[in-house]
Structure 1
Amino acid sequence: MIKWIAIIPIRFYQLFLRKRIDRECIYTPTCSRYTIAAIHKHGPVKGWKFGLLRIQRCNGAMYKGGVDEP
């Protein structure tokens, strides 16, 4: 139940905000899907932590991207 509460903001972003932001994720899976997978695998706190760290790496300046699983 708590996992689903942690996922609600991500789903909101995926459904309503992603299309308004003109940017492509350099990773596979996308950062939002990665965060959801991390929440399912590690729980809400660690999942969000891993997701936020991934988003920090998603600027493309220092990292080339590619496949990055949680």
Structure 2
Amino acid sequence: MKYVLIGCIKLYQKIPFNSHSKCRYIPTCSNYAIEALNVHGIIKGSYLTIKRILKCNPWGGFGYDPVPKILGGKNEK
């Protein structure tokens, strides 16, 4: 199932760039999702991805926001 989600994300990334809005974060939300799924699995990775997408708005933050290596750790916001 994880690989199906990652495949869907990679397919989304192939859509011409001008149809995507600019991501406020580094790595981009789609790259973040792939890494989160690979590091934390489907449940925790999906949770982190949804949390990240909800932060990505005009009133949210911006800049470097890596996938936390340990959930609940210091670098998870």
Structure with bigger RCO (C-alpha 8 Å, 6+ apart): 1
Alignment gaps of 5+ in structure 2: 68-77
Q: Which runs of 4+ in 1 moved over 3 A?
A: none
Alignment gaps of 5+ in structure 1: none
Across the aligned residues of Structure 1 and Structure 2, the Cα RMSD in angstroms comes to 1.5
Question: What is the aligned partner in structure 2 of residue 43 from structure 1?
Answer: 41
TM-score scaled by length of structure 1 = 0.82
Question: What is the aligned partner in structure 1 of residue 15 from structure 2?
Answer: 16
Return the structure number with greater helix share: 1
TM-score scaled by length of structure 2 = 0.76
Q: In percent, how many aligned pairs have the same letter?
A: 36
Q: Pick the aligned partner of 1:25 from 23, 26, 31.
A: 23
**Once the two structures are superposed, what CA deviation does each residue of 1:6-48 show, in whole Å capped at 9, x if it has no partner?**
2111111101265413x11010000000010000100012111
